[in-house]
């Protein structure tokens, strides 16, 4: 029944009651007013455009179908205009004793098009679901969401003189395509009891590398274990080889404090290696260490000492290692730096050393750049620096840091070097602008702008997955900004989402738009246009 019909009926009944007894009139009037108020409030809610949806479901055990309480359910509404739509799971709730949950998330059709749900529990494997949202729908019942229990692994350390207190470590293999790595702990550790037994829980159906160590020395190594395939394991402790020798310089004088590392390398790209043992030379340059018996092809030995060139032996057969290991002394360079006056007194500057032939061109591809040979940081209050362990070759030195424009000089390292003087007084710059739609001139918000980087901005340990610091996201006015840059040419890679409403399906369609341009110099006021009628790369 429509609201107008309900109201007319109630008014008619009220008039009829007037001819009856007064008490009936008053009671019915109160009832009528209450019903009118109830329908009025309910109708207002119905007539308003819903701006939220409710998500419901029940988490159950895959083995027995029983409900699971205290599951953390996290939901992220995916925004239409974002390149990374589900970066944050801002809405969360825990399941009750019946395993059910119910939460509310935003549902403006012009802003959201889907939601992602992640279920987390320490005793179950994490699960990720994704659901597209339909504009007229305000309630989503996901039904039963089945979770599988995490796996366990138990075992025993055998053939060990003292099996108690052995540290067992599990490290998950590097399979980046596996969702497990996004929610599961990468490493686990446990200690053996008096009988040499150990136990792990909360594992995932993926391969792990196992190591057993005592007093910092690895006494057992298992390249691959999958708890889905084996729940019981016996870890055999093989024979430990004794490696001894001495480290000397070019004049055969003993080198004290030299560091020696024996490394067991992985058998597969996804697996993990491990430092089996480490020690250092005494005052007489001698060392002795226990090394796990390992095939020569997986074993390497590195000897290092500050101021000397490191020596690395690959495919090590412990019985055939030379008893005397010579190290060649490197060249030490001393320098003095002049920094900008407005640099913070608690800041640091870094000296980065590159081979002389390194191409100092910007790139959006981290694999296309040479990383520095070494980086050493100093407080800005220290105007002198020392870099040692260099060959008698030519290098390219750079001074970098917050508020310090990258400054480089060519250096020739020799046995009798002069003191270097590096002046880094050029101020840093900002690169900022706006991203606009070419067809309408309106700003593009939530576009991801990636800028290229130079070798001097990288660290020796940098990998492509850690370079998100070179990204910015445009605001509501389409603005982006990169601070603390050196004056140079930069490439920009812009990714944005263009949405259009289709009347036939009553849904918004998303199109990912890409664009790559080159900016001749740092500055402000760049306008970058995206769209089919974009005839210019940028305007200023």
Same domain, yes or no: 91 and 22:
no
Of residues 265, 272, 266, the one with CA closest to residue 173: 272
Of the three residues 13, 28, 47, the one that is the final residue of a domain is 47
Residue 24 predicted with pLDDT over 70: no
Q: Read off the pLDDT of each residue in 530-537 and give the average, rounded to a whole number.
A: 57
| Cross-strand partners of 363 | 453
DSSP reduced 3-state for 487: coil
| Cross-strand partners of 145 | 59
Same domain, yes or no: 252 and 182:
no
Would 535 be classed as within a structural domain?
no
Same domain, yes or no: 342 and 404:
yes
DSSP reduced 3-state for 317: coil
Of all helices (H) and strands (E), which one includes residue 36? helix 22-47
Same domain, yes or no: 374 and 411:
yes
Would 540 be classed as within a structural domain?
no
Rounded to the nearest angstrom, the gap between the alpha carbon of residue 100 and the centroid of all alpha carbons in its chain is: 31
63-66 long-range contacts (CB < 8 A, ≥24 apart) are 63/148, 63/149, 66/99
Same domain, yes or no: 38 and 57:
no
Would 537 be classed as within a structural domain?
no
How far apart CA 112 and CA 144 sit, in angstroms, is 24
Q: Read off the pLDDT of each residue in 10-38 and give the average, rounded to a whole number.
A: 38
Q: What is the pLDDT of residue 6?
A: 36
Phi, psi of 345 (to 5 degrees): -70, -20
- Is residue 182 very low, low, confident or very high in pLDDT (cuts 50, 70, 90)? low
Of all helices (H) and strands (E), which one includes residue 500? strand 490-502
Would 218 be classed as within a structural domain?
yes
Q: What is the pLDDT of residue 21?
A: 38
Q: CA-CA distances (angstroms) from residue 344 to 137, 349, 427, 484?
A: 55, 11, 13, 13
Q: What is the pLDDT of residue 176?
A: 56
Least confident of 33-42, 130-139, 237-246, 344-353: 33-42
User: Which structural domain range is residue 22 located in?
Assistant: 3-47
DSSP reduced 3-state for 42: helix
- Is residue 96 very low, low, confident or very high in pLDDT (cuts 50, 70, 90)? very high
Q: What is the pLDDT of residue 427?
A: 87
CATH number, domain of 69, equals 2.60.40.10
Q: What is the pLDDT of residue 249?
A: 93
Would 539 be classed as within a structural domain?
no
Q: Name the pTM for this structure.
A: 0.71
Reported as a single tens digit per residue, the pLDDT across 384-440 is: 999 988 888 999 999 999 999 999 999 999 878 889 999 998 889 999 999 999 888
Residue 255 predicted with pLDDT over 70: yes
Same domain, yes or no: 461 and 473:
yes
Reported as a single tens digit per residue, the pLDDT across 189-233 is: 999 999 999 999 989 998 999 999 999 999 999 999 999 999 999
Q: What is the pLDDT of residue 347?
A: 92
CATH number, domain of 391, equals 2.60.40.1120
Same domain, yes or no: 436 and 516:
yes
Residue 9 predicted with pLDDT over 60: no
- Is residue 34 very low, low, confident or very high in pLDDT (cuts 50, 70, 90)? very low
Asked whether 496 and 447 are in contact (CB, 8 A), the reply is yes
How far apart CA 145 and CA 353 sit, in angstroms, is 54
Phi, psi of 377 (to 5 degrees): -105, 150
Same domain, yes or no: 414 and 386:
yes
Dihedral sign for Cα atoms in the order 162, 163, 165, 169: positive
Least confident of 15-24, 88-97, 169-178, 221-230: 15-24
Would 211 be classed as within a structural domain?
yes
Same domain, yes or no: 374 and 458:
no
Q: Read off the pLDDT of each residue in 333-360 and give the average, rounded to a whole number.
A: 92
Of residues 446, 473, 358, 341, the one with CA closest to residue 410: 358
Of the three residues 304, 326, 348, the one that is the final residue of a domain is 326
Give the percent of the chain with pLDDT over 90: 59
Q: What is the pLDDT of residue 432?
A: 93
Residue 86 predicted with pLDDT over 80: no
Same domain, yes or no: 40 and 68:
no
Strands laid side by side in the 167-172 sheet:
187-191, 167-172, 208-214, 217-225
Would 536 be classed as within a structural domain?
no
Of the three residues 14, 32, 47, the one that is the final residue of a domain is 47
Q: What is the dihedral of CA 409, 412, 415, 421, to 10 degrees?
A: -20
Same domain, yes or no: 335 and 418:
yes
Would 538 be classed as within a structural domain?
no
Q: What is the pLDDT of residue 508?
A: 76
Same domain, yes or no: 415 and 346:
yes
How far apart CA 126 and CA 91 sit, in angstroms, is 17
Looking up tokens 């341009």, which residue turns up?
517
Q: What is the pLDDT of residue 50?
A: 57
Asked whether 413 and 372 are in contact (CB, 8 A), the reply is no
Total count of domains within the chain: 6
The token pair at 388 is: 């040692």
Contacts of 170 (CB under 8 A, 6+ apart): 153, 187, 188, 189, 200, 203, 208, 209, 210, 225
| Cross-strand partners of 244 | 288
């Amino acid at each position: 029944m429509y609201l107008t019909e309900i109201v007319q009926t109630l008014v008619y009944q009220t008039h009829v009651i007037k001819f009856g007894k007064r008490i009936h009139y008053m009671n019915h009037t109160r009832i009528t007013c209450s019903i009118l108020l109830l329908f009025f409030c309910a109708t207002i809610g119905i007539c308003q455009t819903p701006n939220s949806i409710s998500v419901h479901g029940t988490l159950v055990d895959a083995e027995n179908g029983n409900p699971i309480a205290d599951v953390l359910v996290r939901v992220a509404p995916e925004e239409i205009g974002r390149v990374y739509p589900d970066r944050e799971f801002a809405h969360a709730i825990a399941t009750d004793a019946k395993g059910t949950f119910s939460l509310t998330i935003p549902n403006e059709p012009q802003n959201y098009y889907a939601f992602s749900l992640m279920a987390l529990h320490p005793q179950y494997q994490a699960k990720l679901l994704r659901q597209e949202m339909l504009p007229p729908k305000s309630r989503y019942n996901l039904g039963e969401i089945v979770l599988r229990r995490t796996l366990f692994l138990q075992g025993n350390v055998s053939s060990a003189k003292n099996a108690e207190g052995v540290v067992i470590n599990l490290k998950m293999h590097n399979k980046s395509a596996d969702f497990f790595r996004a929610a599961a702990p990468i490493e686990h550790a446990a200690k053996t009891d008096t009988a040499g037994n150990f136990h792990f829980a909360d594992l995932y159906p993926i391969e792990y590398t196992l190591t057993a160590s005592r007093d910092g020395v690895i006494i057992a190594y298992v390249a691959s274990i999958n708890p889905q395939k084996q729940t019981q394991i016996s870890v055999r402790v093989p024979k430990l080889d004794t490696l001894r020798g001495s480290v000397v310089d070019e004049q055969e004088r003993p080198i004290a404090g030299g560091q020696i590392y024996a490394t067991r390398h992985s058998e597969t790209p996804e697996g993990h290696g491990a430092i089996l043992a480490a020690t250092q030379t005494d005052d007489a340059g001698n060392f002795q260490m226990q090394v796990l018996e390992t095939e020569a092809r997986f074993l390497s030995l590195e000897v290092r000492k500050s101021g000397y060139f490191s020596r690395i032996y690959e495919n090590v057969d412990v019985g055939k290692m030379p008893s005397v290991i010579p190290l060649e002394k490197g060249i030490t360079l001393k320098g003095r730096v002049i920094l900008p006056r407005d640099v913070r007194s608690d800041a640091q500057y870094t000296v980065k050393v590159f081979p002389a032939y390194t191409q100092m061109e910007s790139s959006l591809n981290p694999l296309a750049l040479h990383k520095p040979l070494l980086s050493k940081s100093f407080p800005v209050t220290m105007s002198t620096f020392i870099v040692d362990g260099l060959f008698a070759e030519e290098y390219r030195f750079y001074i970098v840091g917050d508020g310090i424009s990258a400054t480089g000089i060519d250096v020739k390292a020799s046995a009798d070097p002069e003191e270097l003087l590096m002046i880094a007084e050029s101020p840093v710059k900002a690169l900022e602008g706006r991203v606009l739609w070419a067809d309408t001139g309106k700003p593009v918000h939530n576009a991801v702008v990636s800028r290229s980087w130079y070798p001097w901005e990288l660290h020796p340990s940098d990998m492509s997955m850690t370079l998100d610091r070179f990204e910015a996201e445009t605001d509501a006015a389409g603005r982006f900004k990169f601070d603390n840059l050196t004056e140079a040419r930069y490439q920009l890679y812009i990714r944005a989402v263009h949405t259009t409403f289709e009347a036939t399906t009553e849904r918004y369609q998303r199109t990912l738009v890409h664009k790559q341009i080159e900016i001749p110099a740092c500055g402000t006021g760049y306008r970058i246009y995206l769209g089919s009628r974009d005839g210019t790369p940028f305007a200023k």
